Amino acid sequence: MRKVITYGTYDLLHVGHINLLRRARELGDYLVVVLSTDEFNAIKNKKAYHPYEDRKKILESIKYVDEVLPEYNWEQKIDDVRNNDIDVFVMGDDWKGKFDFLKDYCEVVYLPRTEGISTTKIKNDLNLKKE
């Protein structure tokens, strides 16, 4: 079984997230999503609208996702890849090159982002509408 792993906050789920998850899943037979905890988001200077438990439930309901694990820090990726027998690590290409150290442990694939959508854009557009 070819196992794929990817990481993210996945807040205010949108089609860019779904496109990434679908393409990641298509690279193997099983997709593990390592989801940023609220505490790790604080380290990433991100404040998610949905708390971790809700973001986890939402991801687990997506047909491309087989398993959701917590992301606590920047340092856990090598252990995650080894402990979960991962064959392919996937991220959107805004991260291109940032995780090449994982090439010693698995394939590393950066996929083109979906243009024109992001959680930040959603928040900004909603704030503009309020005025």
Which residue in this structure is represented by tokens 């997230």? 17
Helix (H) or strand (E) holding 52: helix 52-60
44 catalytic residue (yes or no): yes
CB 102 within 8 A of CB 89: yes
- CB of 92: closest distance to ligand C2G in angstroms? 2
46 catalytic residue (yes or no): yes
CB 70 within 8 A of CB 34: yes
> In 3-state terms, what secondary structure has residue 89?
strand
Site for ligand C2G contains 27 (CB under 6 A): no
Which residue lies nearest ligand C2G, judged by its C-beta? Answer: 92
Spell 92-114 as b/e; 16+ CB within 10 A means b.
beeeeeebeebeebbebebbebb
Q: Which of 20, 31, 32, 59 binds ligand C2G (CB under 6 A)?
A: 20
Kindly tell me which of 71 and 131 has the beta carbon lying closer to ligand C2G. 71
Site for ligand C2G contains 25 (CB under 6 A): no
How many residues make contact with ligand C2G (CB under 6 A)? 17
CB atoms near residue 28 (< 10 Å) = 19
Catalytic residue of the set 3, 44, 63, 96: 44
Residues that bind ligand C2G (CB under 6 A): 7-10, 16-17, 20, 36, 46, 71, 91-92, 94, 113-114, 117-118
The residues annotated with a catalytic role in the active site are 44, 46
